[in-house]
């Protein structure tokens, strides 16, 4: 808000100076510019916390997907879920009983590869524990 407020103040000062010098049309255009900036800030703010939270507990894999103000929770039975990377793509999917959920969408390629490695290892450890192995 501080950044936005300082930009509003600065644009208003420039617009007022030019309006006082006779270029009064600068002020409405400065207002339109600030309106566009406000919309951009609102859209960014609505999606700044987008992401996924993945939890393995109690024989379940739970994925909480946050997009804007909407939060969806997906649960998968641990011993039935598979992590699949589509051929020729860097997209990861959890697949279970015909359901698919893309995960790691908000990561870059390097972080997605690390996420895939860690999730595969966690799924392997959990699968051994649910089958009676330690």
Does the pLDDT at position 36 exceed 80?
Answer: yes
- pLDDT, residue 127, reads 65
Spacing of C-alpha 29 from chain mean position: 33
55: left (phi over 0), alpha (psi -120 to 50) or beta: beta
CB 106 within 8 A of CB 52: yes
Mean pLDDT, residues 95-103 taken together: 89
- pLDDT, residue 59, reads 83
Instruction: Please list the residues that pair with 57 across neighbouring strands.
Output: 60
- Average pLDDT value for the chain: 87
CA-closest candidate to residue 102, choices 117, 121, 89, 88: 89
CA angle (114 as vertex; 54, 101 as ends), nearest 5 = 40
Strands laid side by side in the 92-96 sheet: 82-85, 92-96, 99-103
- pLDDT, residue 39, reads 93
Q: What is the pTM of this model?
A: 0.67
In this structure, CATH architecture of domain 51-130: Roll (2.30)
- pLDDT, residue 3, reads 87
- pLDDT, residue 131, reads 47
CB 86 within 8 A of CB 102: no
- pLDDT, residue 52, reads 93
Does the pLDDT at position 134 exceed 50?
Answer: no
């Amino acid at each position: 808000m501080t950044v936005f407020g300082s930009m509003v103040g600065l644009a208003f000062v420039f617009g007022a100076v030019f309006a006082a010098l006779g270029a009064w049309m600068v002020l409405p255009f400065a207002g339109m510019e600030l309106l566009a900036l406000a919309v951009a800030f609102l859209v960014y703010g609505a999606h700044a916390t987008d992401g996924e939270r993945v939890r393995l507990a109690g024989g379940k894999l739970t994925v909480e997907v946050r997009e804007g103000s909407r939060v969806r929770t997906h649960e998968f039975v641990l011993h039935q879920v598979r992590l699949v990377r589509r051929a020729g793509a860097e997209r990861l999917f959890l697949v279970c009983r015909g359901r698919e959920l893309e995960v790691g969408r908000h990561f870059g390629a390097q972080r997605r590869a690390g996420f895939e490695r860690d999730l595969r290892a966690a799924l392997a450890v959990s699968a051994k524990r649910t089958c009676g192995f330690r």
